[in-house]
A and B are shown apart, each in its own frame.
Chain A
Amino acid sequence: MNAVENTCVTEDLGGYALVRVGGEVDLSWSQKVRDAILAALRGGDVGVELSRVAYIDSSGIAALVEGFQTARGKGRRFALIAASKPVLAVLQLARLDKVFVLFADVEAARAG
């Protein structure tokens, strides 16, 4: 496993916020991811891009669940994009893989 720098960058794609997350999302990092997702949801629909996530634990999953619930409350669309294998494994374990809307890439998420 390559050491991937922890990153969390929000891009505004014109009314659609894309939060790109990378690295190992654990207790030390998940709070930042949570804050970024909740901030993005203030603007409109949100997609969280997870292709460069090498590790995620339950605190990272909790950040995603909180984003999902907040979006529902606001009537916003919330999707996970290009989830990496480690992310999918943990989503399955938490039985959340059928709860989240998952897209293969950003274009599909914006169109969906």
Chain B
Amino acid sequence: MNAVPLAAAGNGERRALRFLADLSQSLALSLDLRETFPLAVSRIVDFMQAEAASLFLLDPARGVLECRLCQGPVDITGLTVAVGQGVVGRCVAENATQLVRDASADARVNARVDAETGFLTRSIVCAPLATAQGPIGALEIINRRDGSLFDADDAEVLRLIAAPAALAIGNAQLAQGLVEQQRIQRELELARRMQKSMLPKRRRGDFPIRGVNLPAHEISGDFFDFFDLPDGRLAFVIGDVSGKGLDAAFLMVRVESLLRWVGTRAPAPGAWLGEVNAQMCRFVRDGRFVCAAVGQYDRGSGTVRLASAGFPPALLHDGVHFEELAADGPPLGILAEADYGEREFTLGKQALYLFSDGATDVRTGATDRLGENGLRGLIARHAGLAPEPRLRALLGDLKRLKLVDDTTLLLLQEPRGAQAHGLLELEFPAQAAQMRGVRAALRHALDAQGIAPELRDQLVLAVDEACTNIIRHAYGGECTRKIALRLGREHERLVFELRDQAPAVDPACLKLRDLSECKPGGLGLPFIDALMDDWKILPAPDGHGNILRMRKRIPMGEHE
């Protein structure tokens, strides 16, 4: 129909235009169709002077039209018709208004509904709800109230009325789609957080295992884990589930639990992988598999036992040379009868790196991979750093390059503070005259660590007070017996150890006096307590003497 100039329009047409404007406006009030549509349909029924009207929406997945709303003597809400079937189905299939003047003499009319409801359909107009993407449903009116039959004008008016209705429904569906998208996004975020919460908590102090996991998307197929064994050894696990997305993530959760469950019984690493593999082969059916490496570390002897199921080769780095430790068997979940070998070595001061292939798949150009040599280069570049900052530096490098896959790194290395070589080692007789030299040496060592002068002087004071206490109280006065001072580092902490050969000190006898009392003596211990983060007195391991261990956290970045 051509646009009708308002001035030229007749009374009926003016009425139609006003109705259209009102209808469009009322449909635009809300995106919730349940609010706007019942009223709209009953207004359409009145305006068209019809006995009944119904709104059908297309379910594209099923290829059917379902009556979502109706007005009139018979409630057909929920009724479905196939696209192409009956008047409504044909209207949508052809995307064209259907006029059935005389229902009794028209083959398009499905007599079933009348037969079931007792309603008598005399005349029908049905207009498609047309959108740019095709029809999304149909609007149907039935029977003129005055008993006459619908004509071409009615069909044209209904086609016009259907346009704003289609627009409103399209908008509402679009909005609903957005809401759905947001819901999925929220659930993915929740899944990501749950996955993250499954990773073991970073352990403070001189713990030798560190791991990081960088998911390429919300959900990761990589994982790592470490835990204490009843015999005191540490167990560690790293893995990579083939594929991506939710199903890989679910398999990850299952395999991670299985690895931990089997691993807590401390089987030899080869047998550990063997059992997990056998169990996995029972429940993995869709060709998925898991690459994993597992191991145990005995801190006392420094022994590492390691086994790998198709995991990228581990790297053992002594600061200069790399040794490559290849996989001992196929990935988990492929061959139920697979055997896994294992290897044993002494860690010493070396660092063991385990990394998922995401670390080497990092892109260095449009198509170039970082590769294992690239990763070795990065490790070597940061070899001078302590484990924690080194791992962070590596991670920073990988992030700056283009991450295409989940990336997980596990580092096993004794922190330097726990190693034999300290930053300063001194042994001197328990004499006050020694202290000036000890303080100078300590200042020098702290300066070398980049400690700010103010903090340095405080630390020197605390150590001096501790030595003074050993001379005066532990040894009961100056003597030729020795005091040993060792300064070490554990991550972000300086560790001061003073060892004497005096009779055992009962820590309960050491009372902290209140600094607010003004008294000449007993200030040494309060000074130590105020200046250090913590301190404790332990019996020396060989039973001779005491060890005073004092620790102080130093701001990172200032050092290294």
Chain A residues within 8 Å of B, Cβ to Cβ = 1, 24, 26-29, 55, 57-59, 61-63, 65-66, 68-69, 86, 89-90, 93-96, 99
Contacts and interface: CB of A to CB of B under 8 A. Distances in A.
B518 A59 contact: no
B401 interface: no
B436 A89 contact: no
B520 interface: yes
Contact of B531 (A27, A55, A93, A95): A93
Contacts of B17: none
B525 to A, nearest CB: 9
Contact of B436 (A26, A65, A90): A26
Contact of A59 (B443, B460, B468): B468
A62 B520 contact: yes
Most chain B beta carbons < 10 A, residue from A27, A29, A96 = A27
Nearest to A64: B520
A28 B437 CA distance: 12
Interface string B173-192: 00000000000000000000
A61 B523 contact: yes
Given A57-B464, A61-B523, A69-B518, A28 B432 contact: yes
Interface residues of B, number: 29
Contacts of B454: 89
A9 B468 CA distance: 25
Contacts of B526: 94
Most chain B beta carbons < 10 A, residue from A24, A65, A93 = A93
Contact of B468 (A26, A90, A94): A26
Given A29-B432, A96-B518, 5 more contacts: A57-B464, A59-B524, A93-B531, A95-B515, A99-B518
Contacts of A89: 454, 457-458
A86 B464 CA distance: 14
A27 B527 contact: no
Most chain A beta carbons < 10 A, residue from B433, B435, B519, B530 = B435
Given A58-B465, A58-B523, A58-B524, A27 B435 contact: yes
Contacts of B52: none
B433 A28 contact: yes
A8 B454 CA distance: 26
A27 B520 contact: no
11 contacts: A26-B436, A27-B435, A27-B471, A28-B433, A29-B432, A58-B468, A58-B527, A61-B523, A66-B520, A89-B458, A95-B516
A55 B439 contact: yes
Contacts of B523: 58, 61-62, 94
Nearest to B435: A26
Interface in B488-528: 515-516, 518-521, 523-524, 526-527
Given A24-B439, A28-B432, A28-B436, A90 B520 contact: no
A27 B431 CA distance: 9
A95 B523 CA distance: 11
Interface in B520-546: 520-521, 523-524, 526-527, 530-531
B530 A57 contact: no
